[in-house]
Structure 1
Amino acid sequence: MKPDFSPDVLRQRLTSLFPGELIDDLAREREVVERHRTLDVTMFVWTLIAGFAAGGEARSIAAYRRSYNIVTGHGLCPSSFYDRFTEDVADLLGDLLEHAVEEVAVPHHLSPAFERFRDVVAVDATIVRLHRFLSAFPATHEGVSGLQLYLVHHVTEQSVISAEITDKRTHESTLFKTGAWMRGRLFLLDLGFFKYRRFALIDENDGFFVSRLKRSANPLITEELKEWRGRAIPLVGKRVFDVVDRLDREEIDVTVEVSVERRPYDGNQSVTPKEFRVVGVRDEDADDGYRLYITNLPSEEFRLGEVNALYRARWSVELLFRELKSRYELGAFQSEKEHIVRIQVLAALLTLVVSRALLRVFVDQASECQDGATFPPERWATTFRSVAQLVLLEIAASYGYLRPNLAEFLYREAQQPAPSRSTLLVEVTAELCSGF
């Protein structure tokens, strides 16, 4: 069986991702359409997505306008097009992202360890340094700015569950919300989210977690879950980091007791004991000779090696950030206005949604054809970026726009905006002639 490479396959997937009716309805709710009746808001949104994917000069407002005009045949002038970049448009893109986060799943083979959970979720944030100072995105140093992009990433389906944009000074840990939604999910957390109260709430909401163990925590060992023969150092009653540098064993698997500070109530704050599991795998590159994790995964169901392997999946969100920064140049913004920067960040995330949605089409094709084709995400991103403007043409065709007249567009766009203004060559020629 050969893959189906007809244009309709991609067009159908793209238009089903963000249906024109959906964009129009959301645009009316945000009053984007009422203010700009001459604008085809569906093609405007797709122009922002394709333009961000293309990167470089294609990401300027002037380049967005040229792309929009050529695929639609419209003739919006620069000032009129610039007026379209409003806070309402930023809110519209946020609505679309919220709608589409479940559409980016890329199925792949899951290990039996992953299949035991409803979802495997990696939570992390990254800092995007901005070139200019924006008061809405202050950084820790005076006179500079930076925004923080917080992602909840579905590891097993390679999708984005939720995203938030804040200033750099907001601590990533405060963005993590606990509650009943955690039931059956496994959360992979780095040290930025380390907090005993958070671990307790995940556990009490019937969720699971694996986190790196913070050295300053140093919990008390109450039980050894793996016996060692010979003259092994006894661990019960000792604190993890007080003994770990004296151990020769290849693995550590113990129960620890920690103190959980509960939310203050009526002026009082209670502290309750809670037991978790600490596991360690020898690693000579680690400061203490071990990679240490704290978790609530039961030892009778999850061997130490499985815990270590599960945590390694957290790198998927790091790779997602790297893809956004290296392949899509997240942070290369050319504006000092908060809402335009926000539009660009949301366009980046929508670009990722579209890219992954198309990737899923080809993963499915390869699976049906059984031809062994694989698509590394960063290689896919590089390829997608190079054809982003062609994708925009496919979208325009699906909405009934004719193939653009390139010669007409070049004649209109490349000519001198003000006919009375002389070009450099004309001015130089005039000066030379005046000298004779």
Structure 2
Amino acid sequence: MRRLTTLFPSEFLEEHAEELGVVERNRKTQMPALVWSFVFGFAAGESRTLAGFRRNYNATADETLSPGGFHQRLTPTFAEYLRDLVDAALDEVAVPDAVDVDVDRFPDVMIADGTVLRLHRFLSEEFEPRRGEQGGARLHLLHNVTEQTIDRFSVTDQKAHDSTEFSTGSWLEDRLVLFDQAYFKYRRFALIDENDGYLVSRLKENANPLITEELQEWRGRAIPLEGKQIHDVVDDLSRKYIDIEVEAEFKRGQYEGTRSLDTKRFRVVGIRDEDADDYHLYITNLPREEFFPADLATLYRCRWEVDTLFRELKTQYELDEFNTSDPDVVKILLYAALLSLLVSRELLDLVTEQADDEIVFPPERWAATFRSHAQLLLHELGEYLGYSPPPLLERLIEDAQKIHQQRPILQETLATATQPRCES
């Protein structure tokens, strides 16, 4: 428990809540209990409802909250508060390390990616979908493979493109960024190169740059490629690798109302997939002297890490199943999911330290284990923090009683309907 309270000290949780105005100064709400109730309540799954989160809080804190009192605390400010906690934890907690690749050549290897979360149809105005009527949010991550952290994250509506959340600048110097095709843009690649950064991206099918030079010579009657466009000739090739220089034309950013045309030369590498009888094509600015075609394919496999991360969030934590039409609650639950993942990873690090060296903990198996023990962990943590929750019988009475006095329960309705018949 000390490991978790070091990650989120109770004093910090209370002080930051006061700074943002999340709670009143009399501290009627016990913020550590509220935060941990959302973290472990989201992980548990079975209690991933607002009523379930309230029960977790009431089972942990010294004083219980009524349904109305609990709902009053689910505000935009509380969502901002949880987001700040995610930001704080990202600097401390590692995320899954699924691929063993030598990346010492770069100070940092970064992966930019995003995933779509399906929301209630009543949220289509707040979280505008790309098509259809169902609301959709998009979670964007910038994952640092080298440091095993998430450097940046953001939440937008589904219509927002992944690439709009990636900004270039001097921070790219000497760093390698791995992109999927959603981020493909020659201007972005040019800016990365001009900031002394490096990139590897899959080449889009509708991108057909001009080949200016072959970087690998082939003996015999090899098809000459110079002066042709890559997608016009790739289907006619059977060589194991393609290694060429291409020239791409693109528009620069707007300046004084106009956007000028420019060109930039990149390297394109193809790795033949014999099973599919085609090539995996990558565009990069990494030099051939240091990185052979097979090296680029190995580097690009690092992207599996963020795919594994998204898959865990969706399969283990059911991240894209939000049964609410309140946009603030959507954000609260999303940040609770990320906090659950980070706390899970912190505990996995602790378990790994204590276990024998030969024991392996697959991330998704660990996630299932963490979820199944979430309620027990919350109980142990409450005791560690010194909380004295109400007696069990009192909690049962509080949770099980009818809340809405004007809403008849089924037995009352049946009794009222049958009473005249029985009297007659």
TM (norm. structure 2) is: 0.92
Distance 1:413 1:26, change over 3 A: same
Q: CA deviation at 1:187?
A: 0.9
1:65 is aligned to 54
2:63 is aligned to 74
Distance 1:89 1:112, change over 3 A: closer
Equivalent residue in structure 2 for 1:226, among 197, 216, 230: 216
1:243 is aligned to 233
2:295 is aligned to 306
1:330 is aligned to 319
Distance 1:110 1:289, change over 3 A: closer
Distance 1:417 1:147, change over 3 A: closer
- State yes or no: 1:151 paired with 2:141: yes
Q: CA deviation at 1:384?
A: 0.9
Q: CA deviation at 1:259?
A: 2.2
2:378 is aligned to 392
Instruction: Find the residue that maps to 1:34 and give its secondary structure.
Output: coil
Q: Take 2:98 and 2:128, find their aligned partners in 1: how far apart are those partners?
A: 42
- State yes or no: 1:377 paired with 2:363: yes
> Aligned residues, how many?
421
Q: CA deviation at 1:422?
A: 7.6
Q: CA deviation at 1:208?
A: 1.1
Q: Take 1:323 and 1:341, find their aligned partners in 2: how far apart are those partners?
A: 19
Whether contact under 8 Å (1:107, 1:157) holds in the other structure is: no
Please tell me the root mean square deviation across aligned C-alpha atoms, in Å.
Answer: 2.5
Whether contact under 8 Å (1:283, 1:291) holds in the other structure is: yes
Identify unmatched segments of 5+ residues in structure 1: 1-10
Q: Take 2:261 and 2:61, find their aligned partners in 1: how far apart are those partners?
A: 63
Distance 1:36 1:318, change over 3 A: farther
Distance 1:406 1:215, change over 3 A: same
Q: Take 1:421 and 1:90, find their aligned partners in 2: how far apart are those partners?
A: 31
2:21 is aligned to 31
- State yes or no: 1:136 paired with 2:139: no
1:3 is aligned to none
Whether contact under 8 Å (1:72, 1:401) holds in the other structure is: yes
Whether contact under 8 Å (1:127, 1:168) holds in the other structure is: yes
Q: CA deviation at 1:179?
A: 0.9
Matches within 5 A, 1:45-194: 45-56=35-46, 58-106=47-95, 113-134=102-123, 135-194=125-184
1:270 is aligned to 260
Q: Take 2:407 and 2:189, find their aligned partners in 1: how far apart are those partners?
A: 67
Whether contact under 8 Å (2:62, 2:389) holds in the other structure is: no
Distance 1:161 1:326, change over 3 A: same
Equivalent residue in structure 2 for 1:42, among 32, 51, 72: 32
Whether contact under 8 Å (2:41, 2:48) holds in the other structure is: yes
Whether contact under 8 Å (2:103, 2:109) holds in the other structure is: yes
Q: CA deviation at 1:425?
A: 5.1
Q: CA deviation at 1:195?
A: 0.5
Instruction: Find the residue that maps to 1:114 and give its secondary structure.
Output: coil
Q: Take 1:354 and 1:279, find their aligned partners in 2: how far apart are those partners?
A: 40
Whether contact under 8 Å (2:99, 2:304) holds in the other structure is: no
The amino acid that maps onto 1:338 is P
Q: CA deviation at 1:429?
A: 7.2
Q: Deviations over 1:33-86 (max 9, x none)?
A: 227731001211111111111124x11111111110111132211111111111
TM (norm. structure 1) is: 0.89
Instruction: Find the residue that maps to 2:74 and give its secondary structure.
Output: coil
Identify unmatched segments of 5+ residues in structure 2: none
Q: Take 1:289 and 1:419, find their aligned partners in 2: how far apart are those partners?
A: 68
2:343 is aligned to 354
Q: CA deviation at 1:435?
A: 4.8
Q: CA deviation at 1:427?
A: 7.0
1:8 is aligned to none
Question: What percentage of residue pairs aligned between the two structures are identical?
Answer: 49
Q: Deviations over 1:153-201 (max 9, x none)?
A: 1234443221111111111111111111112221110111001111111
1:321 is aligned to 310
